[in-house]
Structure 1
Amino acid sequence: MTVTRLGREIVSKSDELYRPQTPNIGIVHLGIGAFHRAHQAVYTDTYMRKSGDHNWFIAGVSLRSGTVAEQLNPQDGFYTVKVSSAQGQEQQIVQSVAKVLVAPDDPQAVLSLMASPTCHIISLTVTEKGYCHDPSTGNLNVQHPDIVYDLSNLDKPKTAIGYLVSALKTRFEAHIDAPTILCCDNLPENGNTTARLVTQFATRISDELVAWINENVAFPNTMVDRIVPATTPSDIDELADEAGYRDSAMVKTEAFTQWVIEDKFAGKRPHWEDAGATIVSNVDVFEKAKLRLLNGAHSSLAYAGFLSGYEFVSEVMEDKAFGRYLNILMCDEIAPTLTPPPGLELTSYTADLLARFTNPALFHKTYQIAMDGSQKLPQRLFHTIEDRLQNGESAECLCFAVASWLRYTMAFDAKGDAIEVQDPLADVLYDVQKRDFYDIDKLVKGYLGLSQIFPQTLSTNDVFEERVKYWLSYILANGVPTALDSLLLEVQDYSPQLKQQAVL
């Protein structure tokens, strides 16, 4: 039996169709992956449904692959969000994405949309590595081959930063109002970081352009939070059986969602607060709590869990040793480094995170979370470790997480089978292992000497080096589960609070 593919006709029958045949594009989004479709696009859809303000349809841009365009464009941009919670599952068809462009196929079409006077928001979810920066310093990597290319080919760039500067240059020269550039990636002070990278690139183009950007373009900081596992073919088949249509662009997610945005815009914007977003004067405290507690714990769990043979996060959470480890990590090492955001109690927030991790309906793979650690760990773990060590406090569980990540980058699992390490610096990390594998002192010094990953405050810290070396050697000799048992015994000895947490 042939199942009809999702499109305008099906939406008009099963949903309240509000999108016109020729929608107004008010937002251009770079990096239209699953997260954007389950998060910002949903907020925008909700706002337009509720308000009747239909000037904020999204033109998505894929900077590399044509896969999302092949999924969405034949469906007129419509797609399903399937939400799983303890109460069951529900789904909705999102209408806010009007179309998807594939940047390498037609860069001028992308730049034209970004420079259009009707485009007021340019948003991004291109992942940490998409910013072509040095995570240890936060500065643009001007030696990155794609940045080198973009500086000489601004009319057909490859990177998000190149596209932003090229579009801003066009707007500046044509006297078109400046847009708001809305970074929605897990970077520290993501708006400020994006502004810095854009101006560092633009400095090599024109001082006048830099001055115009600094004076007119807004780069709000944001915090985004929603767990979005990768969609599988079986998810698509299951939805087809349930809904009676085939949706190649569906995404699945959890019920929880949060979006905190700094109140700093260049001009018109959707009133996302009417759709559940939070507009604040300072995002910093929200961002730190999320990056350190959720993302830091997620990464810690992913590397150690993957090396313990667990495929999904919920499976890791069923292991009592990992439950104790995460309690100690989050409550006793991470939470004390944070100032609670207004209205957020950290103990309750931590408990909610642990409950979200245990959701078995999400099938969130540890391998998916483990991607791009060299770009993620500075903001997820390293900054927390710096705070702990500077205050003379233990960071034992955090150092264990770093050691687990380094073990993961060695590209073989606990059984000795090869694994593909998806990381832009995978080859650099592997070269260190290949050179110094049989000398643990040289091995760890080699890793910590990678200045593009580790900040000097950690690479020269004797305590950090010694504890990472200790746990990496223990994991190599005994495996993660045995090393984890040893860690739990050790941390109980140096703090009565940790001892109490460890028996939970």
Structure 2
Amino acid sequence: MSVKLTLAASANLPAGVAAPRYRRADLKPGILHIGVGNFHRAHQAVYLDDLFNAGHDHDWALVGAGVREPDVDMRAKLQAQDWLTTVVEQEADAATVRVTGAMIDFVTPFDVEANLAALARPEIRIVSLTVTEGGYYISPATQRFDPAHPEIVYDAAHPDTPKTAFGLIAAGLKRRRAAGLAPFTVMSCDNIPGNGHVTESAVAGLAELSDPEFARWIRANVAFPNSMVDRITPATTDRERAILRDSYGVDDAWPVFCETFRQWVIEDKFPAGRPALEKVGVTFTGDVAPYELMKIRILNGGHAAIAYPAGLLDIHFVHEAMEDAQIAAFLETLTKREIIPVVPPPPQVDLEAYRQKVAERFANPKIGDTISRLCLDGSNRQPKFILPTARDRIAAGASVEGLALVSALWCRYAYGESESGKVIPPNDPAWDRLQAAARPARDDPRAFLAMGDIFGDLADNPVYVAAFSDALGALWANGVRATLAGYLERGA
């Protein structure tokens, strides 16, 4: 018999399921978080739960917010269980189950006035975000804020009734300034190089379209710390709900399953104050860039390296891809040969040890992370996780054979059929466009590279064009297995 997760039931959870050791009634809000997805609830919310369990900073509880349709369903499910979340941390031979309670409210999505009122509350001193890599209105080619995006154009024309997260943040800051309140700190928790700078560009860039003076005030007065976040957290399906219910006796409408490993490195720039997260393992530093570059290129780039060959070979789970000797060898060889040489190591970090740990995490059989999730949104992820490494290699006069192969595998995947002939369902916001470019690229690889907003200057670089064309040609002529084998043999 399972226990339906609620605040009342949290005092009588099944044996082995940990509950918050603090009184929820003692918590007061301090952070408004936009984008209450699985990663946030497995990462930032868990660190805060640890801090509250240790008896510290109970005035830094979370208030959720959202600007997308899925946020409506998320809010409804979490409200029914008093904003509690069950987090299941899994390794191959162990699992830990805990209920977290760091979130105490969730503003109704699409209620602009309610969201602006929450942003204007004096006790809200940090606004944090997890809105995905594609949610920052960045031009893939320039990696800069795109003021011509239709959603940004709308918010610029309607600054008092915005629809985007950045429009809400700008309007909330304006309301605070008018009330004589200090601005909150804006903290991105997404996997984007220089995520603080990117967030500042989005907020101030949007404001500039309607009120240049206010945009200058934002740049002069609002802190946007950079951060690096890391924890593998797959999507929740009925599989995870059933495991939690049947194996651990908890009925949670939206539990989170994740690995044990987690990491958070933050630039210590919080003029409005911050919780003492260093007490629970967060690293505060003056320079996040080396940590974020390491993570984005080795871990996120590694995800792309295994995702597309696995997707073309009809492999479902990430750990199954790592059980494939050839795919695992491709990941190792590519990382050692082409990625690590252009990654400056952070202080006191051994990049080879980090690479080995990443491979171990990918191979975790309990996570249930899917290849389709890793393949998702390549049009936003390739320009952030793969193509910058290729640019650095070319600038150094080094080979990009393997990196170009990763992008060629993505092109082959976007064709829409696996090697067995199975249809690959749409897996990108720009899927129709990708497929329209990938189909003629079978005969003319430049058709895919012609997406200049994605490939930028690489589309005209003879070294990159040749490497991409050779890789895509080999994939169509010889198949995934033979193409991977050729790469591995040439590096032996």
TM-score by length of 1: 0.93
- 1:180-235 CA-partner distances (Å, limit 9, x unpaired): 11101111111011111211111112122112211211101100010001122122
What corresponds to 1:97 in structure 2?
A: 103
- 2:322 is paired with a residue whose SS is helix
Counterparts of 2:45 and 2:442, CA distance in 1: 49
What corresponds to 2:450 in structure 1?
A: 449
- 1:84 is paired with a residue whose SS is strand
What corresponds to 1:5 in structure 2?
A: 4
Quote how far apart the aligned CAs of 1:464 are.
Answer: 0.6
Q: For the Cα contact (< 8 Å) 1:19–1:95, is it kept in 2?
A: no
Q: For the Cα contact (< 8 Å) 1:258–1:277, is it kept in 2?
A: yes
Specify whether residues 210 and 332 from structure 1 end up closer, same or farther in structure 2 by C-alpha distance, changes over 3 A only: same
Q: For the Cα contact (< 8 Å) 1:229–1:253, is it kept in 2?
A: yes
Quote how far apart the aligned CAs of 1:162 are.
Answer: 1.6
Specify whether residues 468 and 16 from structure 1 end up closer, same or farther in structure 2 by C-alpha distance, changes over 3 A only: closer
Indicate which of 42, 63, 79 corresponds to 2:85: 79
Cα root mean square deviation, aligned: 1.6
Q: For the Cα contact (< 8 Å) 1:68–1:100, is it kept in 2?
A: no
Is 1:170 the counterpart of 2:169 in the alignment?
no
Gaps of 5+ in 1: 493-498, 500-504
Specify whether residues 260 and 215 from structure 1 end up closer, same or farther in structure 2 by C-alpha distance, changes over 3 A only: same
Q: For the Cα contact (< 8 Å) 1:125–1:185, is it kept in 2?
A: yes
Specify whether residues 432 and 245 from structure 1 end up closer, same or farther in structure 2 by C-alpha distance, changes over 3 A only: closer
- 1:343 is paired with a residue whose SS is coil
Counterparts of 2:20 and 2:37, CA distance in 1: 25
Indicate which of 37, 40, 44 corresponds to 2:44: 40
What corresponds to 1:210 in structure 2?
A: 215
Counterparts of 1:438 and 1:93, CA distance in 2: 50
Counterparts of 1:267 and 1:195, CA distance in 2: 17
Gaps of 5+ in 2: 14-18
Counterparts of 2:47 and 2:20, CA distance in 1: 16
Paired amino acid for 1:39: H
**1:81-480 equivalence runs, <5 A:** 81-104=87-110, 106-434=111-439, 436-437=440-441, 439-440=443-444, 444-456=445-457, 458-480=458-480
Counterparts of 2:460 and 2:162, CA distance in 1: 38
Counterparts of 1:19 and 1:449, CA distance in 2: 57
- 1:132-176 CA-partner distances (Å, limit 9, x unpaired): 221221222222221122122233322222222121221222221
Larger deviation: 480-489 or 275-284? 480-489
Q: For the Cα contact (< 8 Å) 1:131–1:159, is it kept in 2?
A: no
Q: How many residues were matched structurally? A: 485
TM-score by length of 2: 0.95
What corresponds to 2:24 in structure 1?
A: 20
Identity of aligned residues (%): 36
- 1:452 is paired with a residue whose SS is helix
Counterparts of 2:23 and 2:485, CA distance in 1: 56
Specify whether residues 100 and 315 from structure 1 end up closer, same or farther in structure 2 by C-alpha distance, changes over 3 A only: same
Counterparts of 1:48 and 1:217, CA distance in 2: 27
Paired amino acid for 1:10: A
Is 1:70 the counterpart of 2:58 in the alignment?
no
Specify whether residues 115 and 451 from structure 1 end up closer, same or farther in structure 2 by C-alpha distance, changes over 3 A only: farther
Paired amino acid for 1:74: A
Indicate which of 59, 65, 70 corresponds to 1:61: 65
Larger deviation: 20-29 or 349-358? 20-29
Specify whether residues 142 and 214 from structure 1 end up closer, same or farther in structure 2 by C-alpha distance, changes over 3 A only: closer
Counterparts of 1:413 and 1:153, CA distance in 2: 45
